[in-house]
């Protein structure tokens, strides 16, 4: 009995260790993973306004997402203290928060070695509580000890080479999306064209096997079929 109980405990412990307690950036392999990471980082920042916490708790919440420099910038700008507890005040234009990315095709993700640049252009806005001119907002994520973290709030300072790289990636994606597949080779084979003229239904039926094989055996089988039809007709 004790052996079975010990085995169950070990199994549960292994499963618990395999399930991450939060979404971090150990491997950001695609745009969706980057988006999810940044959304979690933003929600963590916002959660600091929901209740009072100790400084240790605040640091533990932010640590999986931010390196020391951007973390300090965010806290110095937004954190307030009351009775030895800390919290942030809500604002429509608070500094050093994850930008309000749309997480769409307008949100650019450019990976360069151990760095990931995320940015978006926000058109001019003259409505709502916050008005602004058209501008870029961006972040730099850097891999540190096997994990990506927000390493810098870039604002509008997106490197020119990153802008050009994103533009070239878009052009390549657009060109590939407009490529049309070439006509299958079997359509241009004289045997198929001639057979279609003589017996369209039979040719279409036999073309199914030619699409699958598309090799010499398929062609030989076609001629054998035609020869057999000829023998049957002569009889």
Q: pLDDT tens digit string along 188-230?
A: 444 444 444 445 444 444 444 444 444 444 444 444 555 545 5
**How many beta carbons lie within 10 A of that of residue 5, not counting itself?**
9
pLDDT of res. 219: 45
Model confidence at 187: pLDDT above 70: no
The tally of CA atoms less than 13 A away on the side-chain side of residue 65 is: 25
**Both structure tokens of 230:** 């000829």
Confidence at 129, pLDDT banded by 50, 70, 90: confident
Report the length, in residues, of the chain: 235
Place of tokens 């910038």: 73
For the chain, residues classed under CATH 3.10.450 are 24-177
Place of tokens 């279609």: 196
201, burial (CB in 10 Å: exposed 0-12, middle 13-18, buried 19+): exposed
pLDDT of res. 230: 55
98 in Cβ contact with 139 (< 8 Å): yes
pLDDT (mean) for 63-81: 96
pLDDT of res. 215: 47
pLDDT of res. 213: 40
Give Cα separations from 26 to 69, 84, 97, 149, 211 (angstroms).
20, 34, 21, 9, 45
102, burial (CB in 10 Å: exposed 0-12, middle 13-18, buried 19+): exposed
Nearest Cα residue to 215 out of 185, 182, 181: 185
Q: Where are the beta strands (DSSP E) in 35-100?
A: 79-82, 85-88
Q: CATH for 24-177? A: 3.10.450
Whole-number Å distance between alpha carbons of 75 and 58: 9
Buried residues in 123-135 as b, exposed as e (16+ CB within 10 A): eeeeeeeeeeeee
Whole-number Å distance between alpha carbons of 150 and 65: 6
For the whole prediction, is pTM greater than 0.75?
Answer: no
pLDDT (mean) for 162-182: 77
What percent of the chain clears pLDDT 90, i.e. is strictly above it?
51
Using DSSP's 3-state secondary structure scheme, residue 25 falls into: coil
Whole-number Å distance between alpha carbons of 97 and 43: 10
Model confidence at 232: pLDDT above 80: no
pLDDT of res. 94: 81
Model confidence at 90: pLDDT above 70: yes
49 in Cβ contact with 90 (< 8 Å): yes
């Amino acid at each position: 009995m004790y052996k079975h109980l010990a085995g169950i405990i070990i199994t549960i412990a292994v499963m618990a260790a395999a399930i991450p307690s939060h979404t971090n950036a150990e491997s950001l392999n695609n745009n969706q993973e980057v988006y999810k990471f940044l959304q979690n980082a933003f929600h963590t920042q916002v959660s600091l306004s929901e209740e009072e916490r100790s400084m240790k708790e605040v640091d533990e919440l932010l640590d999986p997402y931010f390196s020391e420099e951007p973390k300090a910038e965010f806290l110095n700008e937004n954190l307030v203290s009351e009775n030895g507890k800390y919290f942030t005040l809500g604002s429509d234009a608070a500094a050093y928060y994850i930008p309000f990315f749309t997480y769409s095709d307008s949100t650019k993700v450019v990976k360069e070695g151990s760095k990931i640049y995320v940015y978006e252009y926000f058109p001019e806005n003259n409505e709502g509580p916050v008005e602004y001119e058209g501008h870029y907002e961006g972040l730099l994520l850097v891999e540190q000890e096997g994990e990506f973290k927000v390493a810098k709030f870039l604002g509008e300072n997106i490197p020119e080479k990153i802008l050009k790289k994103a533009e070239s990636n878009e052009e390549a994606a657009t060109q590939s999306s407009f490529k049309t597949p070439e006509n299958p080779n079997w359509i241009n084979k004289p045997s198929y064209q001639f057979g279609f003229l003589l017996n369209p239904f039979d040719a279409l039926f036999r073309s199914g096997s030619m699409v699958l094989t598309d090799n010499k055996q398929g062609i030989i089988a076609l001629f054998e079929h035609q020869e057999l039809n000829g023998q049957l007709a002569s009889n």
